[in-house]
Structures are given as C-alpha cells and as structure tokens.
Amino acid sequence: MSKFVSFAIALLITTGVLGQTFKATQQKASRVKAAYAEKWDELKSDIKKKGIKENFELFMRVFKEDKLVEVWLKSAGEAEYKLFKTYAICASSGELGPKRQQGDGQVPEGFYTVAVFNPYSSYHLSLGINYPNASDKIIGKGNLGGDIMIHGSCVTIGCMPLTDTYIKEVYVLCVEARNNGQQTIPVHIFPTKMDAKGIAFLSVTNSKQLDFWKNIKIGYDYFEQKRQLPKFSVDKTGKYVFPEK
C-alpha cells in the first residue's frame, strides 16, 4: 500500500466519514483490532481501579528530557484529570527547545492536539499532532515541516516513539476518548518538568529559550495546581496568552 493511499485511508478513518462509529472504523484496521484484543480488557480494569468511568476524556503530557508520556483521564462531567499511566519514550532526537523549521530534528514544544489517527503507520500505529500550531506559524522560520507523531517502533527524527506494546495502549485509549465524543485530545509538550528545579536546569541549558519556556510554564503550572486544562490564545508575536493564570 502506498504512503499516499495509507494516509488517505487514515484521514478517512480519522474524520469518521465512513458512516460508522469512530471505534468501529478504526477496528477495521487489523493492527487496531489486534491492539483492542490484546490491551482493552486490562485497560478497562485499570481504568475502573482508578475510579474513572469508561466514558472518559483524555489528555497527554510529554516531557522530552525525562523521556516520558503521561496519559491523564477524567470521567465525563468531572472537572479534574487523574494520572492514569506513564509511558517511556524509547528514542529521541534534537535537543531541548521548540521546533522552528523543517529538518532541525527537533521535537516541538508547546500546546497541541491529536490531529491524525494512522492505523497503517510505518511505525506500527501513530497519532499525529497539529504541528505547526498557531504559535509555531508565527515564530518558525521558512518551511516548518510537519508529520510529528507519537508512534511505535523505537526510531525517530522529531517524533515521540514508544514501544509497539505501549503505542497499542495509548492508541486504544485515544480511540476510546474520541469515540466517547472528545473531538479534541490535547497534547502538551515540555522540555522537562517545569518546577523550580526544572527551570533552574533549563536556564543553564539554553538561555536563549528561557523566555519561551517561562511562557509555556504558565500552562504547566495551571494544570499542576488545578488538574484542569488551561485556556489560552496566541498573540501576534506567537506568545501564549493565558486569561486565567
């Protein structure tokens, strides 16, 4: 199957135009069907143990230096997210700091959402984020690149790879959240944990990015304090603006 055909089918499944539920169309792909058979019963049990209902919403948080992807869930109608699982990123590229152009090998930093579900990925299964976002489009340089994924297979240039075992779990959880009606699945990507220790580390790592990091730290702090997602906009300079700090 060509990459073009694979992407086209993935897009159809992502947008749900095949006339079935999102979960049903995803499970037409053999890898998704197998992932459900292997992982869903255990995931459902773990979700119940956490006191979360199956009709949940999902949020992901990524820490590049720590090589971690956190999956947070909350029952529909509840205000606060609960940490469900933490997965190890098994390969990395680039350095700390945002992605600003194609070919820089960087993993983006900032506030994103899941834009594509690809059950035919060359990297087992993949979830594409909406890079470049509104901020990237203002601050970036020239051709910004794209196709930034959370995927299987431990290889990467600018993506966030998990093992195939882990991507099966994350993919199934995201399909469930989308099938539950969550149209926007947030993915917040940080250079490291943005507490006082993290900021001190970053200040000696790349001082040129310190203003950017202090800006995204506002969103990090909001979630840490409230376990709720921050609202934000992007101003004409590409800076994130948080009405409720």
pLDDT given for residue 8 in this prediction: 46
pLDDT beyond 80 at 13: no
Whether residue 124 lies in the annotated active site: no
Distance of CA 233 to the CA centre of its chain: 19
For a pLDDT cut of 70, what percent of the chain falls above it?
92
Q: Which residue is catalytic, options 124, 151, 174, 188? A: 151
pLDDT given for residue 1 in this prediction: 39
Q: Which residue is catalytic, options 90, 124, 154, 159? A: 159
Domains and CATH numbers, the chain: 3-233 (2.40.440.10)
In this structure, the dihedral spanned by the alpha carbons of residues 188, 193, 195 and 197, taken in order and rounded to 10 degrees, is -160
**What spatial distance separates the first Cα and last Cα of the chain, rounded to whole Å?**
48
> What's the mean per-residue pLDDT of the chain?
91
pLDDT given for residue 10 in this prediction: 52
Whether residue 151 lies in the annotated active site: yes
Distance CA 113, CA 105 (A): 20
> Taking the model in full, what pTM does it have?
0.91
pLDDT given for residue 245 in this prediction: 67
Per-residue pLDDT averaged across 191-216, rounded? 92
Give per-residue pLDDT as tens, 213-237: 999 999 999 999 999 999 999 999 9
pLDDT band at 7 (very low <50, low <70, confident <90, very high): very low
Distance of CA 137 to the CA centre of its chain: 19
Tell me which of 18 and 152 has the higher pLDDT: 152
Give per-residue pLDDT as tens, 20-66: 899 999 999 999 999 999 999 999 999 999 999 989 999 999 999 99
Nearest in space to 6 (alpha carbons), one of 23, 33, 24, 31: 31
